[in-house]
Amino acid sequence: MFTDSDAVFAGFCSGCIASANCALRRNHTSASLQAAITSFIHTVKYQPVVFALPPPIGSVMVEYTLVKQLLLLNLYSPASWPSFAVLLDGLMTANTTVIAAYVNGLLQSSGDSSTAADSGEALTGIKCSDVRPAGRATSLAGIRPVVEGRHRLSQMVGDAADYLPIECAQWRMPAREQYAGGFAGIRTRGRLLVIGNAFDPVTPLVAAQNVSKGFERSVLLKHLGYGVCSPFLPSFYPLRVVWNRIGADGSLQHSSLAQGSLCTARATRAYFVNGTLPEPGTECRVDVDRFAGNDGWDEVMSHFNTGNATATATRSVAHRVARRWEAGRHLVGMGPLESLVRTARLGVMDKL
């Protein structure tokens, strides 16, 4: 899960130094910025800081878990990196004006918080019901090797979500549809296009490589971008999670396309419209700067004429795929790889 997380954090820092749109830049080098952020995180681990902010906010305590979760969740979407850099700089310099502005934005834009607890429990149920017997334990000592293994994968965020394996170790309601088959030699009627992100904080490229190896004749396209989710969420989303104020728009969209790429868009269109796969080993660069403050997709899509026959065919295929995926909704609750395997074997994707 966290195989590439530290590389994404390094990319955040190097991108900051290369951009005039990064509040953390100051006189740092990439290495010194990484060291400064790491030092700040270790400081608040043992010496949490309480900021007295103006009403209606009141006091806010900044501690290790909060900063780690903010870091992890903002690594999901490079479109949020400029605003996150402003907040992180404010925290590191004790700038209460910046912190108050950020939290005020949170409070003004938050939706109904009554669904937060239900959303959290739903996520736990979905993830934990897929855990195999080997991932369950009756004591903390039994699950410690799993937790420590996550820590070894990433110094920066490996411990940001320790609650999940600990919760799931105690889960006693396995999903009835849990997939227990193999992940090799899977042959679909149509060849699959697998897209993997080069710098992904939680679903690393090696996972996409493993998926592609499991599906015969599939091709892996390497998308040379950062992040893991589409940035259709407010820049303050992580604070909404931490403070349990998740609104209707607070949903992370997991994919490999957090940054726009004309090359990836053309390859995807060729696949869905013509069934054409890129050559093995194809790599697509992204067409947006890491600190641009947007995902770059508007610019990419401007290259496509929405009125021509090809674009119409693309939309038609997209609708057909959506209907086929709807037919496999009962697969919700499976892990991503198990769901893909089961979907392919049921024929939900047999025309692709």
Average pLDDT over residues 14-39: 96
Higher pLDDT pick, 6 / 318: 6
Q: What tens digit of pLDDT does each residue of 224-256 get? A: 999 986 543 333 333 333 333 223 333 445 667
Q: How confident is the model at residue 134 (pLDDT cuts 50, 70, 90)?
A: confident
Average pLDDT over residues 262-291: 94
Q: Nearest to residue 16, comparing CAs of 86, 66, 77?
A: 86
Query: Of 48-62, 149-163, 222-236, 319-333, which gets the smallest average pLDDT?
Result: 319-333
SS (H, E, C) the chain: CCCCHHHHHHHHHHHHHHCCCCCCCCCCCHHHHHHHHHHHHHHHHHCCEEEEECCCCEEEEECHHHHHHHHHHHHCCHHHHHHHHHHHHHHHCCCHHHHHHHHHHHHHHCCCHHHHHHHHHHHHHHHHCCCCHHHCCCCHHHHHHHHHHHHHHCCCCCCCCCHHHHHHHCCCCCCCCCCCCCCCCECCCCCCEEEEEEECCCCCHHHHHHHHHHECCCEEEEEEEECCEECCCCCCHHHHHHCCCCCCCCCCEECCCCCCCHHHHHHHHHHHHHCCCCCCCCEEECCCCCCCCCCCHHHHHCCCCCCCHHHHHHHHHHHHHHHHHHHCHHHECECHHHHHHHHHHHCCCCCC
Q: What tens digit of pLDDT does each residue of 306-322 get? A: 555 555 554 444 444 44
Read off the pTM.
0.79
pLDDT at residue 120, rounded to an integer: 65
Task: Give the Å distances, CA to CA, from 77 to 53, 208, 291.
Answer: 28, 19, 11
Which residues, at least 6 apart from 169, have a Cβ–Cβ distance to it below 8 Å?
131, 135, 136, 137, 142, 143, 146
* Residue spans per domain, the chain: 5-109, 114-169, 193-346
CB atoms within 10 A of CB 155: 14
